[in-house]
Amino acid sequence: MTRTAVVNEYHHPQPGATSTLTLDEKVSQEILKNGIKRPKGYTVSYHANPEVEKMHFGPKHPMKPWRLTLTNKIVLAYGMHEAMDVYLPRAATFQEMTEYHKDDYIQFLSWVTPKVKLDTLMPENSNMFPYNMGDDCPVFDGLYDYCSLYSGASLDAARKLTNNQSDIAINWSGGLHHAKKAEASGFCYINDIVLAILQLLLYHPRVLYIDLDVHHGDGVEQAFWSTDRVMTLSLHKYDKANFFPGTGGSDDTGPKNNANPGAHHSLNVPLQDGIDDESYVQLFKDVMGPCVGTYRPTAVVIQCGGDSLGGDRLGCFNINIRAHGACVEYTKALGLPLLVLGGGGYTPRNVARLWAHETSVCLGTDLHPSLPSHTPFIEHFAPDKSLYPELSQTGRYDNKNSNKYLRDIVTSIREQLRYVQGSPSVQLQHIPPDLGAVRDEVEREIQGEREARDVGRRRRERGAGTRGEYAH
């Protein structure tokens, strides 16, 4: 009986010999096609922890951390990771988060679980859940881990800037700008932006914070309300009665007392529904130019909330991806240390497209508009499977921002800047210690104590007995 081979020997085809390419080969082709390479003269770092992507606010909640999965998959599919320093950041510690937030609030986040009935914790004569938890800011499994992970990534990015290891540092999981000192707000629990700016202030006398989210960056503005070492600039939809958070009017310029260092250091650009690409980009440049010229920041933080895009689930603007990215490009051109953060954005596929594009902006690379065919979950970007879909026509809002209204905003900002007298002082009432140095000092103390114990133990053991009997 003739034997037949049960297992045939497999010969792997040489690259290019067939249409079947490995993933690495496909990515390499994308790198060549898009001309992706490390920028000359500056370094870009990318800070991402995949554990953040696994978190889930609930089936009906608009915040979807898996938008980070889509973002990272596009970045990897184009091969942009090859042009950056990619870091896996650690979680922020309790001590690091309490550099801004109150101890009891962080303690609460560390132990609360979905099994805890929040109504049993409500203070007497109050209809509020503790620390403003509830529908907008639900308690979900892994909440504390989520907070510490995205905050740790922003702190890691800020430290890479202050250590001169990076010139542009990106953390798309950060940018949660609504969180307050002792409460959650607007899907935000820990204000990683404030923590990162405090880190930058250890080395930089003045930091400019820019907020492109459709919602006012109230948490960051509030944190630095009384200092001249941080200037906040927020472009957002404003309707005090009907649009969250109802703050950020043109007259919200900081403390009313001119003797307060923070007076006139809060710049707000309140917009109406439907602003389009051309108006938005021109307005951004018209405001940023005098702002930078007057304040002269030494570092910049930009929050790139994707809910200002057209067609966003909670937004009301008509902005396309390239226009949003043009603001990042203008900011990058300042040549200052730049921390780039995520933020809002509730149509995950468009948020992912935006942040992938703005990653390319940081690298100085123009990407091919068709998403690579090997992009995981590419079906979520159907039917066009493009990086740059036309968003301004998706659920379009009428543009209620007249040219006169926009000119008046610019005039108001310029008038406000007249009160900012040159470069401000470099004094701050409280600057947190460099936590890295604190940890090093503690570790040295522990090592010293351990060595002292070992010396004493060895001295006692010299006489007699079994070696190590006094170790415990």
Catalytic residues: 216
Q: Side by side, which strands form the sheet with 266-271? A: 85-87, 44-47, 168-171, 338-341, 299-303, 207-211, 230-237, 266-271
Task: Please name the amino acid found at residue 460.
Answer: R
Q: For the chain, give the number of residues.
A: 472
Is the peptide bond between 245 and the residue preceding it cis, with omega within 30 degrees of 0?
A: yes
- The closest alpha carbon to 351, from 302, 392, 308, belongs to 308
Q: How far is CA 412 from CA 246, 251, 375, in A?
A: 20, 9, 46
3-state secondary structure 55-115: CCCCCCCCCCCCHHHHHHHHHHHHCHHHHCEEECCCCCCHHHHCCCCCHHHHHHHHHCCCC
DSSP state of 376: T
What pairing do the DSSP bridges indicate for beta strands 299-303 and 338-341? parallel
Element (H, E) at 162: helix 143-162
* 3-class DSSP state of 199: helix
CA distance linking residue 267 with residue 269, whole number of Å: 7
CA distance linking residue 193 with residue 190, whole number of Å: 9
By the 8 A CB rule, do 237 and 243 touch? yes
User: What secondary structure does DSSP assign to 212-262, as a single string?
Assistant: -SSS--HHHHHHTTT-SSEEEEEEEE--TTTSTT----TT--S-SSTTSTT
Contacts of 61 (CB under 8 A, 6+ apart): 138, 187
User: What secondary structure does DSSP assign to 299-316, as a single string?
Assistant: EEEEE--GGGBTT-SS--
